[in-house]
Structure 1
Amino acid sequence: MALSRTQSTFAPPVQEARRWLDGIQFPVDRALINVSQAAPATAPPLAMREAMAEILVSEPASHLYGPTLGLEALRTEVAAQWSTSYGADIAKGEVAITSGCNQAFAAAITSLCSAGDEVILPTPWYFNHKMWLDMSGVQSVSLPTDSSLLPDPEKARAFITPRTRAIVLVTPNNPAGVEYPSDLVGAFFELAQEHGIALIVDETYRDFDSRLGAPHDLFSRSNWQDTLIQLYSFSKAYRLTGHRVGAIVTSQARLAEVEKFLDTVTICPSQIGQRGALWGMQNLGQWLASERKEILIRRSAIETEFSQLAARGWKLLGLGAYFAYLKHPFPDKSDALAKRMVAEQSILCLPGTMFRPNGDPAAHGELRIAFANIDSDGIKTLFKRLEMMCG
């Protein structure tokens, strides 16, 4: 009997890791440090919550179905701000709002692929991308990255076949944190353009990029709409994780196909969430800049504190956005080690086995630390506990 679409993929990794906590009582002097999930664990700022509460009471339309591709005002705001930040001319009709960035990816893949088609994913990959491809009957083609966890477009060229429909990049990267250089992203765009396939660029963490200015020039390239599909999440920028608001920027023709998917799955994105995202874009520029600054402070703290682990054989493979990607020095495989860390040091993180294909030996030495919810002092405590794992 054939497997169902959901049976064809693995269990959700974050939920699996949470089950490792079942039945464990953590010592009073060693509370759990949860660095497993890359999402803010605090509510949006009070001013945004107050604005959303007012919308809830005063705008009857916020309780009704809205446009499948999203509120016109929010699409217009995204187009205007993206045009400014990328030095390009992006139209409202090239923007759609989705129920989170995962749905944006699902919509993009559904508009591109049939069962048996292929999509190239650099490894380590974002596991939900792999899961959706599995459930869609689309073959994930693993593209190994180099020692800096950067993918090579010339190596990708060798993986392109007549069934290839897209290449997927995530920058800043989840899980590795690496910020892809502009010329590297440009080279992948040219490769995709040459072969008539899509380049999907997931920029969920663009607001926390350490670089100033546009991270790439793709939107200013001729006929970018024929190749580029950009994905974005408002969840990370404005702490709107529970409201599920994302975006997809691509050609109007592509969005006509995306609309079919969105209308069938959710009909329209969350009305309150969309209005909250719009209010945030229009009113929280300085607040978001301070959020970015804090994340960069935490990144710096990891760089500073890591020396004590480096002396014990650890390696910092990647760092950026919400993530530090580590290579551990133990004989344990990473999935077994991650479970042991819960019991021995009250640390919950994700093993590299959740970000690579089965049988990839590199996975056994890797751990992902998501530091969205621990400050610099918390990072010091985390690293002390990791050091204690070494004895």
Structure 2
Amino acid sequence: MAFRMLCDCFASALASIHAHRLRSFLTSLGIIIGVASVIAVVATVQGLTSTIAASFKGLGSNSLTLRSDTSFEEQLQGKQNRLTLSDLDKVRRSIDGISSITPSFSPVGKFGTTVKAGNKTSYSRVIASTPSYQDAYEAYTEAGRFLNATDEESGRNVCVIGETLRENLLLPKNPVGQYVQVNGNWFKVVGLAEPRGEILGISQDDYMIIPFSVGLGLAGNLASQDVGITFNVDRIEQLEEIQSRVTALLRSAHKLKPGQKNDFKVQTSQQLTDSFTQILSSLTVVLVGIVSISLLVGGVGIMNIMLVSVTERTREIGICKALGAPRSHILTQFLIEAVAISSIGGVLGLILGYGLAFVIGALIPGFPAPDIPLWAIVLSLTFSSAVGVLFGILPAAKAADLNVIDALRYE
């Protein structure tokens, strides 16, 4: 009996929605926009998170990355923490159980410098590193070769360039053998790196890599250089132990007092991924919280229209009650109608949001494909239905509590 009553209420609610199609659509518009906004934000950020996580997988589970860390407060004070060549030397000499130590730094400008080829110029990053950079960062070559030990030992002016730099300088498809100029020094191109694409419209291929020893010669003041270090732990079970030893070594070298914050970071590839994921997750929560306000606005719209619907159908409600319809029947019918409107809006918003995420990705060059997790779909549909219940209960209760005599007299 209860199941039949639910079916009757559901059929009556759908009939009412169909009879006022335009009004129902406009009522659910707030829900559609709210859910679409939530889905678009989550899909876009999750796609970006997946791309960033994939970019750190190449570091390997047994690798550690060591870099300087300057807090925002210190930056406001004009301070810039650095890892020096002395720190690199201490790690090499004092830490056992590590291998494939890969130092890298920017000898001619942290954010880049002018690179020339013929009459063409490009502002690109110049990275000085060792041959192990290839495996540490998966910088494999598409043409030619990578830097080797002979280049490093003899200090040859050779380089490996990225695809974007090749295009900017209008070099041939295979640029091996061509020459580029940096700070008045000529470098022979020995390799072209495989393209990595873009992230947030920023090219990952606009760079050139030169031997570490050559970079030391280009750098004006070695003491001011900030060196990044990546190395592998020989035995993965010692990862945390070596991480702690490196931290203790550098705290001592930098004369940091107990309780004083580190001016560097020693992180595993997983910790690097988690750091970026945490930042993006916080951003997602804030953005979703902002756009969810439109869901509440949509709920107010549903309550308003349902109150209008109760007023329009007052005589109908009176007749139903006069024929013996229980209060629960009337309450359920109007509540189902409110939930149906909000749920339909949720489904349409889900479709619209997914499409909107793809449009955003298409408009921004190199932006990763959107990724909608299952929890976002379930949460959006559940929340949209909950909005229908929350804002539909008052009109439904008003309809169920109408006096039979007054309802039948209503004009």
Query: Which TM-score tier does this pair reach, normalised by the shorter chain?
Result: under 0.3
Structure richer in helix, relative to its length: 2
Q: Which has the larger radius of gyration?
A: 2
TM-score norm. by structure 2 comes to 0.26
Give the structure, 1 or 2, with the largest relative contact order (CA under 8 Å, sep 6 or more): 2
TM-score norm. by structure 1 comes to 0.27
